[in-house]
Amino acid sequence: YMKLAFGPCEVIVSPAESVKKDLIEHGITNPLVVCNNGLHVDHSVLDKKLHQRIKKRHKIIPEQTVLYIGRLSKEKNLSELIKVFYSLQLQKPETRLILVGNGPMRDELETLVHLYDIDHKVIFLGELKHTDIFRMGIFKLARVFLTCSTSEVQPMSIIEALFYGMPVVASLSQGMTDLIDDGKNGFLVKRTSTDDFVQTISQILDDDVLFQNLSKQALKKASQFTVANSAKSYLKVFEKIIRD
C-alpha cells in the first residue's frame, strides 16, 4: 500500500534520517530528502511575574527539577518514567518532577505516583496552550528534560527544550538519535536500564560544568531546526522538481 501511494511521487520528504532509513528498509525506492521540522521560539513572551508565581506556588527549584512535556498515553512509556523518577528521588530526595500534558493515562499515573508515595514531589500541570508554555517559562523550571518514549519521530517538545539550552535524557530509539548527540547535548539510555537513567540524570543535576557544556551544545543543535532552515530545505526540494 505504501508503494502504491508513494509510487507516482517524484520525491518524498522525510522529517528525520531515521524515518528515511525506515522507508528505504520497507522498499521505498523514490528519491528521499530530509527536511527538519522548523520551529520559532520567542523568548520575549516570558511573563517573569507569572513564572515566579508558579515557582513559588509549587516550591520549584529548577536546578533540582526534571521536566516532561507531552501526551500522557501508553506509547510514551510514562510508567517507566515515573519508575525512573522514583529511583532518582530515593538517591536525591530534593528532586522534583514536572509533567505537562494530558491524556488517557492521567488517572493511572496519579495513582502510580500515590502508590510510590511521591505525590508531593510530582507536579501535574495538566494541558497547557502552546503559547502559555512559553509565557509561563515552563522550560526554565527544570534542568533536565526526560523522556522514556520509544515511539517518537521528531517531537517538538524536545526541539523546544534544545532551544532553551536544556539537556535531554531519552531512550535510545528511532527518532531520538536524530535530535540527541549522545554525550554532547544530552544522553541516550537503553530503555530497559532504570539505573542508567538515574545515574545519567544525577550527573547532570550535580555537575555544573557538564550541564553548561550540554546546554551550549543543545543551543547549537537547535539552530538546525529554525523555521528559516526548514523553509530553505523545502524550497530546494520544490525548485529541483520544477527544474527537472
pLDDT 10s digits, 49-89? 999 999 999 999 999 999 999 999 999 999 999 999 999 99
User: What's the rounded Cα separation, in Å, for the pair 93 and 211?
Assistant: 20
pLDDT at 190: 85
pLDDT at 153: 74
pLDDT at 175: 78
Mean pLDDT by 10 residues, the chain (244 residues): 88 90 90 91 94 96 97 94 97 98 96 97 96 96 95 86 97 87 95 90 98 98 93 95 92
Reduce the DSSP state of residue 25 to 3 states and report it: helix
Reduce the DSSP state of residue 12 to 3 states and report it: strand
Give 41-49's long-range contacts (Cβ < 8 A, gap of 24+): 41/134, 41/160, 41/163, 41/164, 42/134, 43/134, 45/131, 45/134, 45/135, 46/134, 46/135, 46/137, 46/140, 47/135, 47/136, 47/137, 48/137
DSSP code at position 93: T
Contact 50, 135 (CB under 8 A): yes
